[in-house]
Structure 1
Amino acid sequence: MDIRILKDPKELGQAAGKEAAKLINEAINEKGFANIILATGTSQFETINQLIKEQVDWSKVTMFHLDEYINLPISHPASFRKYLKERFLAHVPSLKAAYLIDGESDSGEVRKELNDLIRQHPIDVALVGIGENGHLAFNDPPANFDTEEPYLEVILDKQCRMQQLGEGWFNSIDEVPSKAISMSVRQICKSKHIICSVPDARKAQAVKDSVEQNVSNAYPASILQKHASCSLYLDEAAASLLK
């Protein structure tokens, strides 16, 4: 794991977005196309802002979606499909393909379709974050490190749901869905390159656990320690507890 500490969220996002574009372009130059994974949430704001400014031939890029709430309308401010449509897809209209997670349809059918698709599209670059509880995507602790299924239906724990409330996506904890469709840990780790963007002091303990604890499903993002090409982008606040 390559740890890079920047001053603030904006500098973090600029560095992470530029690196993502560089790796995407390398894949395109090597084989004529690239497959990527995009995360959402506040941690990705600046990274995605920078990525869409970079020179990338998006007509050669296929995007997969990391996770989505079950039974949350796409019109809801917290919908990750809405987030990606507004913050990414609207700015890269030439994108070859985008496979979003439809949390309003039958979960089993949605996962089957996505599982079949992503198995045909080995991922070159995955953009992810780390949750306040150390989760990777919506794989809350204790995360399933063993399943080979690319997409899972998961139960969100209270700390995860409180994070979503605290970030302002919902008005009360009762509004936060308790279930989601999430990319599995193993599927994320099959990506050739992983760029993990983690700003903010509230993530400092999760970052410390993910970096300094032994790899364990009690600290889901700790699995990134084992990845051959993972860059962890932190701001000073998120890195404040590291030794």
Structure 2
Amino acid sequence: MNVRVFASEQEAATACAAHLAAEVRARPELVLGLPTGRSPINVYRELVALHGRGELDLSRATTFNLDEFLGLPPDDPTSFRAYMERHLFQHVKLAPERIHFFDGSAPDAEAECARYDAAVAAAGGLELALLGIGPNGHIAFNEPGESLRATSHRVLLSRETRKTLAPLVGDDPSRVPMAALTLGMAPLLQAKQVHLIAFGASKGAVVTEMVHGPITPRCPASFLQLHKNVNLWLDKVAASGLQRR
């Protein structure tokens, strides 16, 4: 893993966004996997700023978001689609037909997951996956367990995950939906390059576990040890456990 440590979250987010913009300039038709949650917000803010300065053109890129809450239509303000509109999509020139999202309101969750997997495959897979990491080691919404799913699936969100997401809905964990649809581990691990962002003290222990711990479904992010092109963008607090080793 290529570990990059910065003095602050803002510095890490700025550097990560600049790198992503350079990748898009080099390959304008890049297929991107995009996360939600708290960690990407500053990265998206920096991407929007780069777009405003004429240093980022996403008009030919294709995006697949990693997950969506189950039971929410795209226009629900709590949905991740609405989150992406607020933080990125409405500010940059992404072609609507190139934006891909789970439909959280689909009547058949299994059929929706199969549709999404087929769409990712038709696009040739993810070329660049931007990931966050949960304090429990989840990536996308692949929660810790006895085993992990390779393909997209319906998942019950852990109490810890829902608590982590509470700041997105007024700091009220009860407003975070109980379940979601998520990409499985296969398309994440098959992405040509992975960029994972982690900031703050709450991520310190799990970042250390991801990098130095055993590869185990109890920490889904640990499977990134098997990937040949992983870049970690960390602030010094999240990286503190790595620096002590």
Q: Please give the TM-score of this superposition, normalised by the length of structure 2.
A: 0.89
1:180 maps onto 2:180 in alignment? yes
Please report how far the alpha carbon of residue 132 of structure 1 lies from its aligned counterpart in structure 2 after TM superposition.
0.9
Matched-pair contact (CA < 8 Å) for 1:170–1:176 = no
Unaligned runs of 5+ in 2: none
Deviations 1:45-86 (CA, angstroms, capped at 9, x unpaired): 111122231523322101001111111354554321111111
Q: Distance in 2 between matches of 1:158 and 1:40?
A: 18
The separation in 1 between residues aligned to 2:11 and 2:82, in whole angstroms, is: 25
Aligned residue number for residue 135 of structure 2? 132
Preserved contact between residue 169 and residue 175 of structure 2 (Cα < 8 Å): no
Name the counterpart of 1:70: 70
What is the correspondence of 1:142-157 to structure 2 with a 5 Å cutoff? 142=145, 144-145=147-148, 147=150, 149=151, 151-157=152-158
Structure 1 residues 206, 174: closer, same or farther in 2, change over 3 A?
same
Matches of 2:146 and 2:128, distance apart in 1: 22
Query: How far apart, CA to CA, are the structure 2 residues paired with 1:180 and 1:210?
Result: 23
User: Does 2:40 correspond to 1:44?
Assistant: yes
Q: 1:77 to 1:143 in 2, by over 3 A?
A: farther
Q: Per-residue displacement from partner, 1:95-129 (whole Å, max 9, x unpaired)? A: 36101222122222322221111001121111111
- Aligned-pair identity in percent equals 27
Aligned-partner Cα distance in 1 for 2:98–2:168: 30
Q: CA deviation at 1:22?
A: 1.8
The answer as to whether partners of 2:24 and 2:58 remain within 8 angstroms in 1 is: no
The CA deviation at 1:171 is 4.8
Match of 1:34 among 14, 30, 48: 30
Q: Secondary structure at the match of 1:58?
A: coil
- Alignment-derived partner of residue 112 in structure 1: 114
Question: For the Cα contact (< 8 Å) 2:2–2:232, is it kept in 1?
Answer: yes
In the other structure, the counterpart of 2:235 is 235
Residue 195 in structure 1 maps to residue 185 in structure 2 = no
More moved, 108-117 vs 10-19: 108-117
Any stretches of 5+ residues in structure 1 without a counterpart? none
Of 123, 126, 147 in structure 1, the residue corresponding to residue 126 of structure 2 is: 123
State the alpha-carbon separation in 2 of the partners of residues 143 and 219 from structure 1. Answer: 10
Aligned residue pair count? 236
Q: Cα 1:171–1:5, aligned 2, differ >3 Å: closer, same or farther?
A: closer
Q: CA deviation at 1:88?
A: 1.0
Offset of 1:212 from its aligned partner? 1.3
Q: In the alignment, residue 98 of structure 1 is paired with which amino acid?
A: I
How far residue 209 of structure 1 moved from its aligned partner, in angstroms, is 1.0
Q: What secondary structure sits across from 1:154 in the alignment?
A: strand
Hey, what's the Cα distance between the residues in 2 that align with 1:23 and 1:77? 31
Contact 1:135/1:221 (8 A) holds in 2: yes
For 2:20 and 2:100, how far apart are their aligned partners in 1?
19
User: Is 2:205 aligned against 1:205?
Assistant: yes
RMSD of aligned C-alpha atoms? 1.8
2:100 is matched with which residue? 99
Counterpart amino acid of residue 38 in structure 1: L
User: Given residue 51 of structure 1, which amino acid in structure 2 is its aligned partner?
Assistant: L
Check conservation: 1:78, 1:170, Cα contact below 8 A: no
